[in-house]
Amino acid sequence: MSELKKFIESKMRMSHIYQPVMIKILLKNGGKADKNLIAKKILEYDFSQVEYYERITNNMVGRVLRNHDIVQKDKNNYILKSYANLSKLEKEEIISLCNSKIQEYIDNRGEKIWEHRRKNRKPVPGSIRYEVLKRANGRCELCGISNDLKALEVDHIVPKNKGGEDSINNYQALCYSCNSNKRDLDDTDFRNLNSIYENRDDNCIFCNDFKNRKVLENNLAVAFYDKYPVTKGHSLIIPKRHCKVYFELAQPEINAMNALIFELKEILESKDTTIEGFNIGINNGEIAGQTINHCHIHLIPRRKNDVSNPIGGIRNLITGKGDYKTKPNNG
């Protein structure tokens, strides 16, 4: 068995189709191929690109040509209305005219005509891409489709051209369709978002006190121990920005807070082997028990026999609603 065959059968580890496609092209081209040809061949397998241009066909060019009565649509097919009346010579002349119009447009506009499809950034490092996809459980974070059904892209939540960072907290996993639609439809103004993250309230105890109490922190969030713990190790995770409730958080802040929750969980469990579980809770609004108007997530370690009956957990916020197994009518 050749080394190449052995590599493909037993050593090749694939995160995409690129390796076998490249090897196949090299074999078909006498063992040598330039990167442009390889890229074009990879593109032939990228059906998400086809999907993008199907939308262009239906929503733009197809609509324009229908409005001018040049084509008609029959389900998924487009029909050139005058085709049957054109001679062979006329068809050749029109094809040549189309080629001239294409070249004229390219000559006038240059590479800018493909700017909407170009990725003007360095590739996301493989280790970061892995962590983003793992955090998303291999699914698009917008539509939920699995990576097995449609390739996922690692997308900047705050775009690079709006000041977004190459940080794991500013990445999300989107399928190609959602990423494309996001660019087309998202009209959020990100220009001031970075300055918004610096927003503090001089009258807020968390804004003024977290620097002295922090146990963990990252760019957008901080964790510290609760002054009035429910159990030993009871901690709070907050955004550094003054933000009243969870529903006002930006996605990068949610990512940052979640990262601290996981990190703090590992620390608490390593220091205390009696911890067997956790309650994770957020009080949003005064009616829900919030007393400090700065969003905070409670991470509460739980141990065996810390209460007489733990059934229901957070359901015990409402008296009598916890033990739903013996009192099914309590909701």
pLDDT tens string 94-104: 989 988 888 88
**pLDDT-derived band of residue 87, with 50, 70 and 90 as boundaries?**
very high
Residue with the bigger pLDDT between 252 and 310: it is 310
Give all domains of the chain, ordered by start, each with its CATH number: 3-45 (no CATH), 126-185 (no CATH), 197-330 (3.30.428.10)
pLDDT tens string 103-149: 887 788 766 666 555 554 567 787 888 888 888 878 777 776 777 77
Query: If you count them, how many residues does the chain have?
Result: 331
Tokens of 69: 């009565």
**pLDDT-derived band of residue 209, with 50, 70 and 90 as boundaries?**
confident
Which residues share a beta bridge with 64?
none
User: For position 187, what pLDDT does the model report?
Assistant: 42
- Lowest mean pLDDT across 121-130, 252-261, 308-317: 121-130
Handedness of CA 260, 121, 158, 144 (dihedral sign): negative
Assign 3-state DSSP to the chain and report helix, strand, coil percentages, each to 5: 50, 15, 35
Handedness of CA 199, 203, 204, 208 (dihedral sign): positive
C-beta of residue 224 within 8 angstroms of C-beta of residue 187: no
